[in-house]
Structure 1
Amino acid sequence: MRTWWPRSLAGQAIALQIAVIVVVVLVGSVLALLDARRDGDSAARQQVVSIATALADSPSTAQAIESGRATQILQPVTEAVRTNTEIAFITIMSPDGTRFTHTDPSQIGGHYLGTIEPALRGDTFSEVYTGTLGPSIRAIVPVRDSTGRVIGLVSAGITQQTLVQRWRDQWPTIASVGLAALGLSLIGVWAIRRRLLRQTHGLRPDELRVMYEHHDAILHSVSEGLVVLDRDGVVLVNDEARRLLGLTPGPVTQAELPEFLRAYAPGARDEVHVTDDRVLVVNRSRVADSAHSEVVTVRDRTELQGALGELSSLQILTDSLRAQAHEAANKLHTVITMVEMGRPDDAVRFATDELALSQRLVDRLSHDVGDPALVALLLGKTAQADERGIALTITEETHLPSDADDVPLSAQEMITVLGNLIDNAMDACDRADPWVEVTISLHAEDLRSAELLLRVADSGAGMDGDAFERAMQRGYSTKSGVEPEQHGLGLALVAQVVRRHGGTLTADVTYGSVVTVTVPERVE
């Protein structure tokens, strides 16, 4: 690329525009001059035809020719007309071409120089001819007597030198208009150049192309969902965002976005939203130099949330084992002390009673709930509730056989649902009378289908319908000291699992705050 050629896109665009504008103005000016000359010739031809016709049709002209005193009568008239109309000459002649009048009196009586045959035939005729005054545009019109016979001719003309002078007189106006147009165009081009420089940041076309290619490649390969919004709607959605938000290919309207993305809310950081099948982390940032545009990033936290659930279950079990070990150590010290006090029978009775109580709970859960992971969860929650002074009861209605093949929820989903419901219940129960009751059962509604029932009740006040609906949509916390904006995810995750399997999640207040999950049997 030559050094004189601009490198930036704005510079190249403006250089091309300037070249086009200069060419257009120059060509337009030349065409305007040529058009002015053509119009001048046409106007001159019409003028001389009109003057010659007017004199030829005047009765006084025919009378003067017939009187034999044509020169004396018509010479002053033609000169007066010529002077007022600023034409070169008016010649009145006989049919043989002998002049009766002329601008130069010395030419009177001489023979007319030009074509007269069409006029002698009665036609009005115009031509460009070189006469005594030089090249001129002239018209010849016949003069008729009362019988229609041609008794003379009238010729009027304008020299081309006069026309050229008239044409040249228009040059300054045309040049001024052309220069003004050029100046205004350059000012507009300069303004466009400034705007282009701001919008392209002075980048060259190849740099813009590389930037676009990299931008497109990043959008398609980035592992986070990216959505760009402005006041008119959705500007951009990458492939990952379409996958995470369940959007179809093609243009996306704002109405197709989830509810939490439809409002303009820049500045949000690590917002957690639960959709029907995913847990998403959303961040929103305002676009610089734009009052109503924002960039939204979406990350998938579904698998992480599942791992956190498993880790939470393991943590609960670990805490339960630690608590049991601590309690066992206390009980062991008690037994040893009672033996040292010489009361071995009391020591044996104390140890076997505590062991039998714990073993009965383990045996019962192992018998009624076949899944080991679910048994571990319930044992851990029982120990956790005992530490917090909460009476957690597994009802006698609980029954989930280990050989059941038609349980609609997987073990991980069962842990997610029950773990979150029990945690919510322990947090919400009445501190004056803290109790939680858990029921798990799989029963047949009819001979063709079975239904899983999970019910968790507590001594708390419960939630009204609106609060429960909000909790299922995004998460809600009833913990004291938690702001409404700091919603949890427990009930929302439960609702996600239930919706995925076509079940129902309801809440009511009867003998306590009762949350019930029902999930129909899986259809293979």
Structure 2
Amino acid sequence: MVSGQKTVGRSARYPSAPRRLTLLLVQVGIVFVCLGITVIVALMVQERQIRAATEERVIRVAESLSNLPVVRAGITAPWPTGELQPVADLVAEAAGMDYVVITDTAGIRLTHPNESLVGEQVSTDHRRVLAGEHFVGVEAGTLGPTLRAKMPVYDTAGTVIGTASVGILESAIAEDMRDGVAGLLPWALGSLAVGIGAAALVTMLLGRRLDRLARDARDLVVQRRVGAALGEQSHEFTNRLHVLYGLLEDRENDEALDYIRTLVPVDAEVVSGAAAEAAAGGEAAYTGPRTAPTPVSRSGLRTLIERHRIILTERGGILECDADEVGVGNLDTEEFEVIANLLSNAVDAAGPGGRVELRLARGAEGLSIRVSDSGTGISRADRERIFEHGFSTKARGERDLPRGFGLALVARVLENRGGWITVGEPVYGSSGTRMDALVPPLYPVDATTGRVQNPVAIDPDSREEPR
């Protein structure tokens, strides 16, 4: 017992650890995503900038090379390579080009970084350049893929006498990109560390607030559950007052005292059980132990009917009752609750000048109940929901008791005893509501064997809207 209490204490002491971890992971995930997107965009922009700068560089070098007088003179010289190769090597070294190639109008290389390729036909198409066009792009040559620029070389008369081609290897551009990534990486890691630190700080600050909210939420659940249990008890208490009133009115004091003794300890258990379930975190309607059914005198039923007749009469309405006390016999408290709640709802629904009919009959299947009212009726959309715990079609006033419990109690009693209830329209008019219910006996007796059998739900084949 002691160890169990310690375990509960530890779990209650650290209720927010998973929640705080989840909050931290969500924030860190957001930091990762945002940083990742930022890094990708930065790398794309950097790659474009590096490529644009490289293109601009090769264009300027190619233009400058094609306009040099020594290049013009060298192309038409008797031994052009001897005059042009030193110039090409100097330009390549000064401008940081991987290759510089000068050709004649036949496309024969006059210069090349690889001396063995001098004097051979170029490996790429130079016809459009010889036609006077400029070319900038990536081509695969003898050194590999390069970003290159090709310019025509003109003589003093404006005639194309050759081409000047310069380029930078794609591998060199990729190396520049790697250098850029290396420079960006420390900043990205630093930003990640700052983001994680900020997320941890926010988690710590919000965690305290979330703990407070979690405690408030648990307290609210407990209050709602206890309130629901007390709401049920208020309905049952009202009905039991009618029973007690009838017993006392008939001077049956001993029976009244016995009836009170059966109620007090069990009802206390109902409320405390609801609070215990709420503290455990549940929010469903309390389904714990209820008062065991006990006999109700006929005077209790008579008093219940007369009370509601007085209420209707004061409102200018009428209550018609067809209930043979001898035929109906003695009721138990659950049967009484069903009648009381259905009748109370009908009286409320009928309103001023309204009409309510109550029909009771007991047969072999159990107690048959029909309650009709001349109120506004219940929409088909609400007919299924009216038996839900806490649902009500009535507007709640400032001093009203909690609503949405009476029919839920009825449904629970009928479900426990294998009964049924239907919702329809009154037989005497189109407006209003009619409810038919069957409450089977607690211990049905088999007519053939004479033995007590378990209650079995009866299927209301011809009824509408069965519950």
Query: Would you say same fold, with TM above 0.5?
Result: no
Larger Rg: 1
Tell me the TM-score normalised to structure 2 length.
Answer: 0.41
Tell me the TM-score normalised to structure 1 length.
Answer: 0.37
